[in-house]
Chains A and B, each alone.
Chain A
Amino acid sequence: MMYGMKKIVDHDAEIVLPKCMYPVKYRTIPVGEDDININISNQVIKFLKGSSNMTELEQRQDQLLQKLDTLYDRIKTISLHCNSQAVRSVPKQVPAVEEVVLVVSPDNFPWYLNYVLKQSPVAVNISWHVHSSVPNEKIAKINNLVKNLPSLSNDSKINIRLIFKCVSADAELKLSSLAVPIVGNVNILRYLAYVYPSIISYDHNDQNMDYLLDICHMLERTPEKNKEALVNKLCAQRKDWMYGNKFTVVDLAAYNVFKQWKSVPKYVNKPWFDKCDKLCL
């Protein structure tokens, strides 16, 4: 022979001649794979994979990777156990937000802010800005409103930026650029009650409380003639405070609305209003 070549396809295998003309597959009995009929592509792949060394290495590699995976899972479960033990002892907290923006109109100052700043267990930094949409005439009014706010302290971790803007009437609380802002003083108070459960008492399961809060929300927007009827509805359950015997979020919301009006009308209970004034100013 002139040129000897390696056998790629083995033709020396015995060819089994069929005994029947047209074989039909068994429909009922499952057929197993025929070991003899290794088709050409499989043979080529086997050849290309080369000697058994490579395949061995690959198999070992796969095993090692599997072991790594199981180890990783184990470590993860262990760490979870550790964490959960630590977490159990700390009370549930709202995730710490670094900086919060409160957008208000200079005509509607949020009077509940003073109360929160005074009572907050963690030091809160408050800074304020005037937006370019505010006309120059209102700047003096704004200066008057902010002179009672506490000055900056360097060691607090929570910052509130108060921005006075003359665009929409509703106050907005923005927690991050990507989240939807909380709109409306009453909703902001609901959020603050969630953050400071010890300072502002709010039971979100109490539908009566929510009903009174909704009346406060409506009071902010209602025309002059409907105000008295709404206030009477609001005060219907009043005892020492607006709802029950302690200072709740309803008192804060109602006080905020009345304080924003130009003058406090006669149908608002004066002793209650004075009590709120003392707490908030």
Chain B
Amino acid sequence: MVVSEEPAATVEGDAASKKAAKKAAKAAEKQQKKAEHKAASGQQQSEAPEPDISEGRYGTLKLIQSSGEHRDRVYTDVKDLNVKLNGQQVWVRARLQTSRAKGKQCFAVLRQSSATVQLLVNVSEERKVSKQMVKFTGNITKESIIDVHAHIVKTASPIESCSTRDVELLASEVWLVSAARPQLPLQIEDASRPEKNDDPEALRIRVNQDTRLDNRVLDLRTPANQAIFRLEAGVCRLFRDILTKRGFVEIHTPKIISAASEGGANVFTVSYFRSSAFLAQSPQLYKQMAIAADFDKVFTVGAVFRAEDSNTHRHLTEFVGLDLEMSFKHHYHEVLNTIADTFTEMFRGLRDEYASEIATVGQQFKVEPFKFLDPPLRLEFPQAIQMLKEAGVTVGEEDDLSTPDEKLLGRLVRAKYDTDFYILDKYPLAVRPFYTMPDPNNPRVSNSYDMFMRGEEILSGAQRIHDPEYLTERAKHHGIDISKIAAYIESFRLGCPPHAGGGIGMERVVMLYLGLDNIRKTSMFPRDPKRVTP
């Protein structure tokens, strides 16, 4: 080994050069010692080259290019390892979460999505495990994917640090399938540490949100994130299943549209060949056209784009919208009750089928169980104003509720009725869009409703005006250019049943169901005014 000495540049005065000289001297001493040591050990090694008894039982696997080898091998999932399989030999493919090698032994923790198990590699004649194999295992970088052939062994005392507590793996073969680079941008351990820890001796290292979002691939591997997104999948699945059972049809509406549907301010413009088009703010128009096209009950799950420059904890520029629209016979409450019952069934389904995911999220973030009533609580707008007035906040009869008002109302409802989910019906007409049907008994009130979870709005819906003349009149009243919505009004001239509906944001529902504090936690690759990657 060449010892290269580069004394530090002596620029300022004698003091600097003295320091530099000292430093150089120290470095030289260190190198010398190292060289001596190596020479000594080198001698030892050359004296007795140890034969590797584990030859051919460990190493880096050749790149898996589907060559046809090992197709008969059966792998066992880490979550299926338990005492019943004691003594059996299994193949496991998992990620190496951590490893700790010391002399003749190496302890490692293997992880497969949320389940972890301890792996033990120790030098043993009968299992043909050599020191070199132990060293190799200890040197595998964290987060690499490995194949392990091991015995399942019952442990004397339960292992606290793994999800599989009563068994561990005793390795006989270790193969590296895909290596991760040695310097990871964030440690999974740090990213999974609970937000608040009562133990004063626990490490306080946390990963902040921006770092997490920049390295989303690593961040998503934490058990809490795995659980959150599986729960989100559950929300979509339950939404689809519950509505399909009620006779709804899933449709897919276009996202590139020619005219802004509601208010023109918050749309993204895209260049469309020689002109431009917009990204859909909501599937409202198309849902209604589907109803006019005799589909009766429709729902759609798709992306929604809002160009709002809001950097808050609950706004994204792109999110997944779960929308539904339904025709009714005589009263829009038929639709309101359907939506409310869908929600109740969804909450029940999440509570019953995803309890373990909710518990996993609860290990890292503070999660308060979600409370709801069956049938759901429905209050009317005047009642809400009365409740707010009692609490000291005055809201005019025709005013909309501001966000702090909504939050306070949520707390008041929670105190009185002990529910996190409620419906507010009969909003004043003045604060609703032009296509909302007014109340026949009171011209200042509309047939519209909002639904709230934990004091935050998740759904805004109403009975839509299905008569083209009335619609034109209301549009004029709101000062909207009729020529821009001509196509929309035209669809009602072909006979349209009375209908109502609403839409929810999937990420917001999951965030509020779990009681998390930021919507970026529930969006896999979130988009906001400041973030467009990954």
Which A residues are within 8 Å of any B CB, using their own CB? 98-99, 101, 103, 129-133, 136, 161, 163, 165, 174, 176-178
Contact = CB atoms under 8 A, between A and B. Distances in A.
A193 B164 CA distance: 60
Contacts of B53: none
A129 B411 CA distance: 19
B418 A98 contact: no
B371 interface: yes
Nearest to B417: A101
Contacts of B413: 177
B417 A98 contact: no
Given A177-B391, A177-B412, A178-B391, A129 B386 contact: no
25 contacts: A99-B383, A129-B375, A129-B377, A130-B374, A131-B372, A131-B374, A132-B347, A132-B348, A132-B351, A132-B370, A132-B374, A133-B371, A161-B417, A163-B373, A163-B417, A174-B416, A176-B387, A176-B390, A176-B416, A177-B391, A177-B411, A177-B415, A178-B390, A178-B412, A178-B415
Contacts of B363: none
Interface in B346-384: 347-348, 351-352, 369-377, 383
Nearest to A134: B374
A176 B389 CA distance: 12
Counting from the closest, the 3 A-B pairs by CB-CB distance are: A129-B373, A177-B412, A177-B416
Contacts of B418: 103, 131, 163, 165
Given A163-B417, A178-B391, A132 B383 contact: no
B113 interface: no
Contacts of B374: 129-132
A130 B417 CA distance: 11
Contacts of A130: 373-374
Contacts, number: 53
A163 to B, nearest CB: 6
In this complex, the interface size class of chain B, counting residues with CB under 8 Å from chain A, is: 20 to 34
Contacts of A98: 383, 386
A132 B355 CA distance: 14
B491 interface: no
A131 B414 CA distance: 12
Contacts of A163: 373, 417-418
Given A130-B373, A132-B372, 19 more contacts: A101-B417, A129-B373, A129-B376, A130-B374, A131-B371, A132-B347, A132-B369, A132-B370, A132-B373, A133-B371, A161-B377, A163-B417, A174-B416, A176-B416, A177-B387, A177-B415, A178-B390, A178-B391, A178-B412
Interface centre among A136, A161, A176 (most CB of B within 10 A): A176
A163 B422 CA distance: 14
B371 A132 contact: yes
B342 interface: no
B419 interface: yes
B384 to A, nearest CB: 11
Nearest to B371: A132
A131 to B, nearest CB: 6
A25 to B, nearest CB: 55
Nearest to B411: A177
Contacts of A161: 377, 417
Interface string B323-358: 000000000000000000000000110011000000
Contacts of B348: 132
Contacts of A177: 387, 390-391, 411-413, 415-416
Contacts of A131: 371-374, 418-419
B238 to A, nearest CB: 15
A157 to B, nearest CB: 12
